[in-house]
Structure 1
Amino acid sequence: MPETESEAQLETGTETGGVREVKSAARTVELLELLAARGDRPARLRELAEELGVPRSSMYALLQTLIDRGWVRTDVTGSLYGIGIRALLTGTSYLDSDPWVRAARPFLDEASDALGETIHLARLDGGDVVYLATRESHEYLRTFSRVGRRLPAHAGALGKALLAERPDAELPLPEGELERLTPNTRTDRAALTADLAAIRERGYSVDREEGVLGIVGFGFALRHDDPATDAISCSVPVARLTQEHERQIVAVMREIRAKIESTAPARAAGSPEWRA
């Protein structure tokens, strides 16, 4: 903790929710999120400093601190920066400690064995969904569905299944026109609202090349929370989707959803009830 009043002033910033935000902590998180979002595109010191509005000297000092602790990595020249291995270890710990992810895993395997297609488990995070587990298709299929990937909730089966669990007035969507990922993405709110109404009526969502061209997805919200925060989906190439296969997918995924929901982990006495 800061030992003097001047140190405290340096460490604290604007007040949020009745608690003063610690500037250095917020800056560290913003830097890690920025590096993570860049994926395989390393950044230079100048880029990071300009993006976050931080003096280069301060950014350099922060980067060196995080490199020493494994949260950031740099190349042999010391001029390029990327996310470090500690981020992976922390993310893995999140998955391993989550009772719903653990409960769902064997049923994801069951769905994969029954359908031979790619199966996902994802969680709503603001206006996005984050992939928590994936079982790849028995056939080669590049769906860019790695664990940790984020997608706008309005643009895929997983996200739409979860949005449909919420009233239209409470949808966690950004202002203005929605992001377009493919020519089929619904970017108009009226069109999305109509689609969500159909999903509520049907009981599951369908994404026909709205998130990835050539891929159709079927999403099913897991109602162990109210409103649901987790969903499962099955993704299949358009070329392999027949009416019969679609009926099979819906039947199997409905059964898998019921099995996951019926194995609700009992919360041990005194264990925390996490918000997300």
Structure 2
Amino acid sequence: MTDPAPPARPNAVKSADRTVELLEVLSASDRPLTLTELHRRLSYPKSSLYMLVQTLVARGWVEPDPVRGAYGIGVRALLVGTSYLDHDPVVRVATRVMEQVRREVDETVHLARLDGSDVVYLAGRESEQHLRAVSRVGRRLPAHSTSPGKALLAARTPQEVDAILPARLTALTPGTVVDHQALHAQLADVRAAGYAHEREENTPGVGCFAVALPYRSPVLDAMSCSVPLSRLDPEHERRVVDALLHGARTVTELLRRVGH
């Protein structure tokens, strides 16, 4: 198995292509990057890179860090990202149902969307308990390591899963399943059960359950619930799974009713 080739970009405008690549690199970094680091990652001519960065700084897409001489993603990117969520009908419908699920089980609930081989978290409702999983909108994680990712991969054939995932699966914790054969066995169990679950595959001390939202085909969205293992007994697990299954049916019915 080989890694899938990056999608072709026919007739790409070079300046626009470079702008998007630069913003993607900055948004994926957990800290501001210097021009040297950006040059190393992007290989643009230094003069062109400097002018591009300064243009984006002036427009508010990039923010300078004068202390380190580095650059991070700017507030303009946040405004555009928020606009995406504000206009997404799935987010609008799902967040109301997610709040109901959160009240039923008092655990953190997420809405996630498949994007390539990753899932991106679009919305969250946090538990009110002191010990709880933290929700962060915009977070991107490998699909194979997450419960919503497994729920969405299980909605596809094994051949489709192999085409989506890279040949080498990244381990986020010692518990992450990185063997393709073992992952396919997991996904078969998900199909049989009707929901996905994982324990400590992306966050130590946390288990997660998820259900795909089959309002469209192919399925792209899933609702999940994260629970600290310290209170994840069989009775609580049943309550969480039942709440998610009911919530997923509700979201799907509402979206189909309005034509999505």
Which range, TM-score by smaller chain?
over 0.9
Relative distance call for 1:78 and 1:234 in structure 2 (3 A) is closer
Cα gap change, 1:63 to 1:137, in 2 (>3 Å): same
The higher relative CO (CA closer than 8 Å, separation ≥ 6) is in 2
Q: Secondary structure at the match of 1:112?
A: helix
| SS across alignment from 1:130 | strand
Q: Normalising by structure 2, report the TM-score.
A: 0.93
1:50-129, aligned counterparts within 5 Å? Answer: 50-76=40-66, 79-129=69-119
Q: Could you tell me the TM-score, scaled by structure 1's length?
A: 0.87
Aligned length: 252
C-alpha separation between the residues in 2 aligned to 1:69 and 1:88?
13
Answer whether contact 1:131 1:149 (CA < 8 A) is retained.
yes
**1:236-251 maps to which residues of 2 (within 5 A)?**
236-251=227-242
Question: Which structure 2 residue ranges, 5 or more long, are not aligned?
Answer: 1-6
User: What do the CA deviations read for 1:177-211 (whole angstroms, capped 9, x no partner)?
Assistant: 21001111110000000000000000000111111
Distance apart, 1:143 and its partner CA: 3.5
The answer to whether residue 225 in structure 2 is matched with residue 212 in structure 1 is: no
* Aligned-partner SS, 1:86: helix
Which of 172, 194, 219 aligns to 1:181? It is 172
Would you say 1:161 and 2:151 are equivalent positions? yes
Q: Could you tell me the percent identity over the aligned residues?
A: 50
1:106-152 deviation per Cα after TM superposition (whole angstroms, max 9, x unaligned): 11110111100000001000000000001111113463530000010
Cα distance in 1 for residues equivalent to 2:134 and 2:116: 21
Aligned to 2:139: 149
Letter of the 2:99 counterpart = D
Q: Determine the C-alpha separation between the residues in 2 that align with 1:193 and 1:64.
A: 47
4+ aligned runs moved over 2 Å, structure 1: 75-78, 140-145, 172-177
State the Cα deviation string for residues 54-83 of structure 1 (Å, max 9, x = none): 121111100010011100010235821000
Query: SS of the counterpart of 1:20?
Result: coil
After TM superposition, give the deviation of residue 251 of structure 1 in Å: 1.0
Q: Which has the larger radius of gyration?
A: 1
Number of the residue aligned with 1:140: 130
Indicate how the Cα distance of structure 1 residues 149 and 251 shifts in structure 2: closer, same or farther if over 3 A, else same: same
Checking the alignment, whether the CA contact within 8 Å between 2:34 and 2:68 is kept in structure 1 is no
Deviation at 1:93, TM superposition (A): 0.5
- Once residues 201 and 195 of structure 1 are traced to their aligned partners in structure 2, the CA distance between those partners, rounded to angstroms, is 10
Distance 2:168 2:53 in 1: 36
Cα distance in 2 between the residues matched to 1:56 and 1:145: 38
Secondary structure of the corresponding residue to residue 63 of structure 1? helix
Distance (whole Å) between structure 1 residues aligned to residue 133 and residue 26 of structure 2: 23
Q: Are the equivalent residues in 2 in contact too, given 1:35–1:42 (CA < 8 A)?
A: yes
Q: Structure 1, unaligned stretches of length 5 or more?
A: 1-14, 268-272
| One-letter identity of the residue aligned with 1:51 | R
* Cα distance between partner residues in 2 of 1:89 and 1:48: 23
